[in-house]
A and B are shown apart, each in its own frame.
Chain A
Amino acid sequence: MSQSPVDDFSPEKSLVYEQGWKALNRLLHEDRSFSGHEKNCAYLNTGDGTFADASYVTGLNFPDDGRGLALVDWDFDGDLDFWTTNRTAPRVRLMKNTSDSKAFTAVRLEGNGKNTNRDAIGARLRLYLKGESVPRVRSLRASEGFLSMSSNWIHFGLGKATAIDRLEVDWPGGKTETVGGLELGAFYLVRQGNAKPERWTRPAGLVPPAPSQPELPQESDASRAFLATRLQCPVLPITENGTARDLDKELSGPVLINLWASWCAPCVAELAEWSREAEKISAAGLRIIALNTDALDPDTGNAAEAVALLKKIKFPFDHFEAQEQTVQNLNLLQRAVLDRWLPLPVPSSFLLDQRGYLAAIYRGPVDVATLIQDVTNLNGSPDELRVHAVPFVGRWIHEAPTASPLGLATQFVDYSQPDQALNYLRRYIRTGGGSHLPESERRSHHADILFVLGALLEEDKQIDAAREVYKEAAALNPDDLRIRTDLSRLSSDSGNLEEAEKQLREALRINPDDSNSQRMLALALAQQQKYAEAVPHFKTLVEGSPNDDKLGLQFATVLDRANLPAEAIEQYKRVLGINPKTFAAANGIARIRATHPDPALRNGQEALILAQRLCQMTDNKNADFLDTLAMAHAELGEFDAAVIAVRRAAVLKPDNPALLARIALFEAKQPFRRATP
């Protein structure tokens, strides 16, 4: 938050803020604690307008990452218990209240289901105690706290009360009714239209819940994730007999890519098991490619020993030496798929399907039975595959999404490898990525990818290629504003303002409220001297950002150039109201007042005061302001003063033909009149 822009929303400022978010976000993926180990709190209302910290004495100071919290007298023992949900394990807790005070009464309401809803949600209850005139007030609400709904039983704690006088119920959509005959320490059903409550007793058989701490299971470091939505595995560079090459076609599976090291006992044990079970594995149609990492860390590894070891265990599958990039690619691939980003361990294995797309990740060792089961389940539609990708039975409402290659591309970019990102996306498109999608989805999916590809090309200074890619993207998805924005920017950079304007008009067609496009269009029109056309766009922008002095100045200048002097003056004045140091606005007014052909708009005195002030504040070092001063003097018929001023301007800006012409004009005792279209 310390990096959030407060009033400067320029792309540069925003970028720093966005990068801050991104970094923070990455840390959370990377298992960093953030306001972690905080203990839950309880405050006791001491009845005098203040509360006392009771977190510890109530026993609520356990350190779960709590989320939801809902109240209920679970065991009907006359005090409120509660359930919580947590981010951490255990994901739910029942906290039982052991209050010594059982001074309470609790009611459940039933509306008539006609003018009042059955649950009587929204009912207001006022409980009057004997001898008290101020009632205890409760309401029945569906939803309170965060993501939580509590019990519909309405619980009144009664403290030292000895008897209840009456209960008033404001039925939502109905009348207020009075209920009598309530006693302390009892549960009641209260029905709309019935003044007599029904006393209710919990069915016999309750076993009072005994306290104990949940026993959390021991968790293994090794994990398996079977994937329903699949990403293409990037090309994996390897070294074979001292020669570097890429694994590309070989990645069409079913194939298991395994990363191992000779000093890693679980790695070796796993490879030995696969060697023993080679027949079974091959019969299942699975190939294995073992990639050895020994050479990447000479302190611990020994590549020659690794080869010898494979011989010794008679490893029957392909094996190569991994390069640094190999491990990095696989590491980033797992990050693109899993939400939790832990460094890739050895051993790790990646199961690829027939298309070379990632079907399962095994961090740590994996046994043959698991491998064979996963190969058996390898193919199917994403909805079918989802059955195997989740650990429990259940139902889905939404269809399985399509995995986006952009996730991995982002990972490459974050690690300063835009070329890898570029190659990855190009290969995805080349090899028919996303071709299974229905036409319209495929088009926008490809447009999203081309949009990023264009950005990568731009970063690589391949501007023409980038423009072509953006154009292709816009053809695939004509309704993506981001693509239009980039096309307009490239056009504008290369001086093709007409094309920029066209793209920005498209952008505004897509989202008429997008102020960035509106602003860029307004500027593009102004640059093309289409001032009159620019005016309505600026007008909208200024209405949206009434405190933006820079924008206001642009608007005023455009109004001035569109020959709308009265409106221009009004705008210049508004800008000076926001920021009195906007010299250009004061100068704009002075120029109109000194030089406009319409005598009704001219006011030499006002122009002179403004120009003198401007020159004074800039120490007579600003040629434009001196020029304005000269024009103002001329307008007032003070031609000698005008000549002196314009000569001083000409000293600062020598050989300026306009200034030289004005010297001659004023020497001829003629005022200056601006040209109007």
Chain B
Amino acid sequence: MQFIRNFLLVFAGSALLSACDNGALPDETDVTGSVPVSPVESVPEPVAAEADIVTAPGLQNMELFPLLADAYGRIDPAKDGWDTEAFSEAANRQLHRLVEHFEAMEEELPEGLASPQFVSGELRPADQSSVFDDGSLKVTRATIGNQTPMHKGASGLNAAMRSYLGALGRDATHPHLKLKLFKVDANRTEILSKATGEVPGGRVQLDAHWVCAWDPSTEGRDPLLVSIDVLKHSETRYHGAAGQDSLFHDCTEAVLGNVPSYREQLLHSTDYWRLRIQRDMGLDVVANHGLAIGDVNGDLLDDLYVCQQGGLPNRLYIQQTDGTLRDATETSGTGWLDYCASALFVDFDNDGDRDLAVGQESRLLLMENDGTGKFELSFGISSRAQTFSIAAADYDGDGDVDLFACGYNPFGGSVRRGAMGHPMPYHDAQNGGPNILLRNDGNWEFNDATEESGLEQNNNRFAFAASFEDYDNDGDLDLYVANDYGRNNLYRQDNGKYTDVANQLGVEDMSSGMSVSWADVNHDGFMDLYVSNMFSAAGNRITYQRQFKDGLNDDTRQIFQRHARGNSLFQSDTKGGFTDVSVAAGVTMGRWAWSSRFMDFNNDGWDDLVIANGFISTEDTTDL
């Protein structure tokens, strides 16, 4: 036992949700000088074999060390003694069959899906009212009353589903149905149903929340559907005036298609590069790399900076008058090859052009713009931890912009001082890397003001994102920090000093915080807060079971349940406090959400939400 513990300490540093599994994070690095730009070299790509390459013989007998093999086994709840998960899996198989049946447009329902006792009302409730209509986007919502049982028996299920999908419209093409089982209680399951289809000049989607009852499996037979009850139902339609099929269109190729680095670097996935650049250069599977938009050459057209993993240069693309981009990476001096998470374009020296801040693995670099989009390194510092989001604001009101960096994993060097490798405990980790606030003292001098500003309070978490905003409308900038594995911080500013009031105001949002966004969603003059987390169907299924950490007190159990709930919307109460309206507003389901933010995408003055999500997609079909 001791031995394994030692070994783990050596390789501490949670790679799963972090960017660094390179054995250890680098120690503090000197950033006063930089290594010169590399000469050009063509890289040969091996000739592809005609036949597929196959696994070498001799690997079939490799056996994992027992404790680890056991841990592998426990990752799949269905194989870890969770009866409900085994049931969910069987029910899911049935739901997939049902979906396949409708996608294949078969007339007859296959045998063994519905019980002869099956019963349901209309899955598309008749009583619906319009809640939104701006001419292009239309939303109707159903009022759920008593559901008259009208579809009965195995054939009833077929009729109910046909009638439901009929709501997509007779002329709908590419109909698609997705049923997500996210809660289970004995033989009842809760399901999110999403049916979508294209219609001439637009699209339609039906979103519903159902409760399905099942006749449990017996030997050799999966469970049979006994009933479906509708809890929620809404329909959203889009019709573009110009006949466009959806509100947004991918136009990447139009602006980047002729740029070689786009084709050679950015059209390859992270996984492609993970076989072609060694890990020591700073690559990982998670690939948390962001972007910054800003005008770097004074033409008021926004330019684009893309952060990349180690071994691949960050890219600076300048917008030209025709709207396309040209690659200015080399001429601008911004093609950092080090692992880079984040960047900002900010005029740090108040000379009228936007300079560049770069958040690397454990460093912050500030580069001065000469006004034409050429940058020189002016300041660099070790950030005390693995850096993720960085945020800038003039927190002390002295007329220049200061810089805040989120710290995630502590330095690799700290394991030699006894630091723990993994977040402990998972639901309320207090062993993360520190955030840092750099005060701008002019002439490219920045000093660590974390302690003096009060931001050292609760500065021991796994911070992913931060954003400054004056949430209480008192004229100074407060700061919200979203942390992974537990509690977030809301630092309220009073006369230049910050105090963490997240707990007091009920916005700790104990979950897996990954992003922060602000907007006045309800037009009351106060900023509201949207925080991204992970919605987990499996998490929702498991944490509501008695078997989950049996003996756990209800408070802690609720914390785990909360971890699977998803994104959170905190509405300002206009008195300096917040109300959690996430569930009522219907905005929790962001899946494994990274950037989640407010955006008024239909120009009606009400801020909507867009969410970039998904953790690791591979060709592997069995999702963990």
* Contact (A59, B594) CB under 8 Å given A52-B139, A224-B45, A338-B278: no
Task: A489 to B6: give the CA distance in the assembly, Å.
Answer: 12
A205 within 8 A of B: yes
Across-interface contacts of B361 in A (CB, < 8 A): 398
Which residues between 56 and 100 of chain A lie within 8 Å of chain B, taking CB atoms?
A: 56-72, 74-75, 78-100
Query: Is there an interface contact between A53 and B563, defined as CB atoms closer than 8 Å?
Result: no
Q: Is the CB of B254 within 8 A of A210?
A: yes
Residue contact A209 to B41, C-beta cutoff 8 Å: no
Tell me, in angstroms, the Cα distance from A493 to B576 when the chains sit together: 58
Contact of B55 among A345, A394, A451 (CB under 8 A): A345
Nearest chain B CB to A587's CB is how many angstroms away? 27
A121 touches B267 (CB 8 A): no
Contact B621 A33 (CB under 8 A): yes
- B window 120-162: CB within 8 A of A: 131-132, 134-137, 139, 141
A9–chain B nearest beta-carbon distance, Å: 7
Q: Pick the contact of A118 from B3, B43, B250, B347 — CB < 8 Å?
A: B347
Interface locus among B100-108, B301-309, B496-504 = B301-309
Q: Which residues of A contact B119 (CB under 8 A)?
A: none
- Residues from chain A with a CB closer than 8 A to the CB of B268 are 89, 91, 217, 219
Dominant secondary structure of chain B at its interface with chain A: loop
Q: From known contacts A54-B236, A347-B53, A398-B26, infer whether A115 and B291 are also in contact, taking CB-CB under 8 Å.
A: no
User: Does B292 lie within 8 Å of A149, measured CB to CB?
Assistant: yes
- Does B271 reach chain A (CB closer than 8 Å)? yes
A119-B347, A148-B595 are known contacts. Are A362 and B46 too (CB-CB below 8 A)?
yes
B316 to chain A, nearest CB (A): 11
Instruction: Specify which chain A residues have a CB less than 8 angstroms from the CB of B244 in the assembled complex.
Output: 98
Do residues B44 and A135 form an inter-chain contact, with CB atoms below 8 A? no
| Residues of B close to A69: CB separation below 8 A | 594-595, 597, 610, 612
Number of interface residues of B (CB under 8 A): 266
A33-B622, A117-B401, A406-B11 as given contacts; A102 in contact with B72, CB under 8 Å: no
B279 touches A339 (CB 8 A): yes
Query: In whole angstroms, what is the CA distance A367 to B391 when docked?
Result: 48
Tell me, in angstroms, the Cα distance from A322 to B57 when the chains sit together: 10
Q: Assess whether A600 is interfacial by the CB under 8 Å rule.
A: no
Assembly CA distance A153 to B47 (angstroms) = 48
Q: Report the minimal beta-carbon distance from B552 to chain A, rounded to whole angstroms.
A: 6
Residues A95 and B250 in contact in the complex (CB < 8 Å), given A146-B595, A173-B394: yes
Let me know if A389 and B617 touch, CB within 8 A: no
Contact A119 B354 (CB under 8 A): yes
Residues of B within 8 A of A14 (CB): 5, 424
**Contact indicator per residue, chain A 343-378, by CB within 8 Å of chain B (1) or not (0):** 111111000000000000011111101100100000
Interface residues of B in 272-286 (CB under 8 A from A): 272, 274-281, 283-286
Taking a contact as CB atoms under 8 Å apart, the answer to whether A229 and B255 are in contact is no
Are A147 and B465 also in contact (CB < 8 A) when A94-B251, A121-B401 are?
yes
A480 at the interface (CB under 8 A from B): yes
- Closest CB in chain B relative to A410 CB, distance in Å: 6
Q: Which positions 600-617 of chain B face chain A at CB distance < 8 Å?
A: 600-617
**Cross-chain contact A455 with B399 (CB below 8 angstroms):** no
Chain A residues closer than 8 Å to B416, beta-carbon distance: 444, 448, 477, 479-482
One of A67, A115, A452 near B290 (C-beta < 8 A): A67
Cβ of B527: which chain A residues have Cβ within 8 Å of it?
137, 139
Write the nearest CB–CB distance from A502 to chain B, whole angstroms: 17
* B residues in contact with A435, CB < 8 Å: none
Check B59 against A369 for contact (C-beta < 8 Å). Answer: no
Nearest Cβ distance between residue A162 and chain B, in whole angstroms? 13
Q: Which A residues touch B618, using CB under 8 A? A: 31-33, 36
Residues of A within 8 A of B304 (CB): 83, 92
CB atoms of A202 and B284 under 8 A apart: no
Please state if A219 and B313 are interface contacts (CB–CB under 8 Å): no
Q: Is the CB of A143 within 8 A of B389?
A: yes
Tell me whether A452 and B10 are in contact (CB under 8 A).
Answer: yes
* Across-interface contacts of B16 in A (CB, < 8 A): 21, 24-25, 28
Task: List A residues 1-43 near B (Cβ within 8 Å).
Answer: 1-6, 9, 11-12, 14-29, 31-43
B426: min CB distance to chain A, Å: 3
Q: Does B163 contact A (CB under 8 A)?
A: no
Contacts A397-B380, A489-B2: A32 and B71 contacting too (C-beta < 8 A)? no
Partner of A293, one of B56, B264, B621: B56
Can you list 19 A-B contacts with CB-CB less than 8 angstroms, sorted by A residue number? A23-B72, A29-B285, A33-B622, A42-B601, A54-B205, A66-B611, A87-B617, A119-B347, A144-B517, A145-B515, A148-B292, A149-B291, A387-B41, A390-B281, A392-B313, A395-B34, A397-B336, A414-B64, A489-B2
Further contacts, 12 of them, CB under 8 A, given A92-B304, A343-B56: A5-B424, A51-B587, A89-B268, A95-B249, A113-B399, A151-B293, A214-B253, A225-B276, A396-B35, A397-B363, A410-B10, A416-B66
The 10 closest A-B CB pairs, nearest first, are A147-B290, A66-B612, A59-B246, A327-B58, A4-B426, A394-B313, A36-B617, A68-B290, A211-B249, A145-B595
